[in-house]
Structure 1
């Protein structure tokens, strides 16, 4: 079937999609990178009426699904080594913060395999629970209140909407990261354009539902993204499964899909939460000012990143920025961090580092299966979902 590649009509579809998008969970996972386990493989190829890519995108945009509940399995394989429980800031959890804070807890979804229970009743009520063998972590959005509860530590986190640190109520919830097939699909469609090929790639059955497969792929060479495949419910237009495969082949980098789904309105009690006696409760507005609103616990130095620029366009765009010479990140990159580098951070960097040279000088490329980052010796950073060669070429062109 011919690709749907009209930028004007795609733009209209994306604007309509954004207008109708309904959050199906209170939180989600960052920067669009998640892949699904073999147990979630498609079962059967249902015989459905023919549909064009344009019609399928419009079907997603027009979807009016506001109520649902179900189970989602997420598997992420970026090829990162274990950091031994350290947060993305490489320093662990700050003193005084809560283990139930979704800005910290949900970073765990960036690696490995996880089972989630999700429920939604319109824009005002959503719930997401991360299920482990012996514990459960839940985030509940009910009107103006956002609660998070970690059963392993018996700690709860509470924020009121509008309070600093409470997070967004729209598609991505308090963590600012997409976690469901719908949210991930919205992000990809909003970012796609003339550099993208969109086709219908057959049919599938997901969680017992007949679905069309929408395939979204870069036209450009040099991207580490092979393709994004979205299974779209044939009846409701709701994305049921999202899979991102790398250009290098092999298992999916990101894959998230429903194993069970029900489009009936969840029971009102689903969104009830009252901390038990003895539960430690952290109020968002009681945290130190410097800790409020920090999504993902990024290092404080991130606020001082200098002159962020985007080079190129589409799937091969590269971000360029300058690290402050006295920043913690800059010190780590140059090997001059006071007191030396934490062992887990050193292991992380050593396992990913690859020395490169060019007209830009010399530096080190840190690689995952999807994203490559070049840190030069003079403190510049180049990052993108592009190959190492494309990254070095972008740096050389500056």
Structure 2
């Protein structure tokens, strides 16, 4: 989709489960591109007052719901192997969040204002929770009854734990609406009942001229009274079942009990390492410093090609020949590419297809949404576009 030129504080805002209001600026951006098509109820759907797409986006933007609790069903069918092994008992936060990239999962969510949130994974016999209460943050493993505590002191209030994966329909709808541009069609497509509540269906999709996108449509069910997204469904352009489907099965807009944001009695609490709690510290651990150096090298070679739903990112792959060009020229010889571990290589081979073109030769790695081309000379092209579009972009650069 179109690049997201968010303000610096928006990435933290997206992660705040309590802030169930799309930025007001979205309404202004969308106004020029949204078709004024009113909702028409189909048979069996609730009869609601007619509303245009622009009015519905404005309703989302005006929503100020900050207190709710409920159950969310998350289904991801991206064509990836199961990532369940990364989660399970004893897993850390990043491992549990990675599980959401495949299969079906059930979450319980709760929010009480900008400083209290809870996200609980309930797939396994033992629950795993991420809890924030003020500046205190806990990751609690129900299997071991152990919790890791950290403090957000120094980061200010109003930011949630650093969740990398959007966990609610609001999180996903927020990102989709901020990407609206003149390559996008936005309409209202009927009504529905979600988690026992009446909702309008907002339909977002590429215009016909934007061929090459792997995204067919995005459908957001918006609570007719509250303006809160209740369900988010992304369907690939090649049809079939949804690639991402996230929706409330139960929702309550009352204030959650205070105990929701407290650790269970008897939990064994340990403190997170200080460097993990204070990312604004003067000195990074040596391992992290090396990682940031590598990211800086990548950023220098990053290019964004195209616009809208067929945007492709191009960069020098770590350890590839293109990444080594500068050093090779200085040394008078080609720097060797880093070796890929055997297990990782086998995984990539299973996903990839060998291809060739004006760019040379390489491998295309495919999912139902995001595809990537890694050329043998070390250039990486990736985007929510078809493999054919990737090859076309790579050929055009030569």
Band the TM-score falls in, shorter-chain normalisation: 0.7 to 0.9
CA contact (8 A) 2:188 2:201 kept: yes
Question: CA offsets per residue over residues 327-364 of structure 1, 9 Å max, x none?
Answer: 9x99xxxx9765x6343x33421221111111111110
Q: Distance in 1 between matches of 2:374 and 2:65?
A: 44
> 1:286 deviation in Å?
5.3
Equivalent residue for 1:283?
A: 272
* 1:207 aligned to which of 181, 190, 195: 195
Asked if 1:184 is matched to 2:172, the reply is yes
The aligned residue for residue 245 of structure 1 is: 235
Work out whether 1:24 is the aligned partner of 2:17. Answer: yes
SS where residue 110 of structure 1 aligns? coil
The C-alpha deviation readout for 1:309-336, integer Å capped at 9, x for no partner, is 1101111000000023379x99xxxx97
Q: Could you tell me how far apart the structure 1 residues matched to 2:12 and 2:59 are?
A: 13
8 Å contact kept, 2:320–2:377: no
**Alignment partner, residue 90 of structure 1:** none
Corresponding residue number in structure 2 for 1:31: none
Q: Distance in 1 between matches of 2:14 and 2:341?
A: 43
TM-score normalised by L of structure 1: 0.78
CA distance in 2, matches of 1:342, 1:389: 28
Aligned 8 A contact 1:374 1:383 in 2: yes
CA contact (8 A) 1:231 1:241 kept: yes
Q: Secondary structure at the match of 1:85?
A: helix
Given that residues 353 and 365 in structure 1 are in contact (C-alpha distance below 8 angstroms), is that contact kept between their aligned partners in structure 2?
yes
CA distance in 2, matches of 1:244, 1:177: 15
Partner of 1:320: 314
Q: Please give the alpha-carbon distance, in whole angstroms, between the structure 1 residues aligned to 2:198 and 2:211.
A: 33
Compared CA separation, residues 377 and 183, structure 1 to 2 (3 A):
same
CA contact (8 A) 1:210 1:234 kept: yes
2:111 to 113, 116, 120: 120
Asked if structure 2 preserves the Cα contact closer than 8 Å seen for 1:46 and 1:203, the reply is: yes
Q: CA deviation at 1:58?
A: 0.3
CA contact (8 A) 1:216 1:228 kept: yes
Which residue of structure 2 lines up, in the alignment, with residue 175 of structure 1? 163
Match in the other structure for 2:221 = 231
Cα 1:385–1:231 change in 2 (3 A) is same
* TM-superposed deviation, 1:248: 0.6
Correspondence for 2:328: none
Residue 341 of structure 2 aligns with which residue?
A: 341
Residue by residue over 1:154-213, the C-alpha shift from the partner in whole angstroms, topping out at 9 and shown as x without a partner, is 4422221156xx89954x741233110011100000111111000000000000000000
- The CA RMSD measured in Å over matched residues stands at 3.7
Matched, 1:134 2:133: no
User: 1:91-138: per-residue Cα shift (whole Å, max 9, x none)?
Assistant: xx9xxxx94542333111111111000000111111110002311010
Deviation at 1:18? 10
1:71 aligns with 2:71: yes
Equivalent residues, number? 348
Q: Residue 303 of structure 2: which of 305, 309, 314 is its match?
A: 309
Q: What SS class does the counterpart of residue 85 from structure 2 fall into?
A: coil
**Contact 1:316/1:386 (8 A) holds in 2:** yes
Task: Give the 3-state SS of the residue equivalent to 2:302 in structure 1.
Answer: strand
- Residue ranges of structure 1 left out of the alignment (5+ in a row): 1-6, 27-41, 88-92
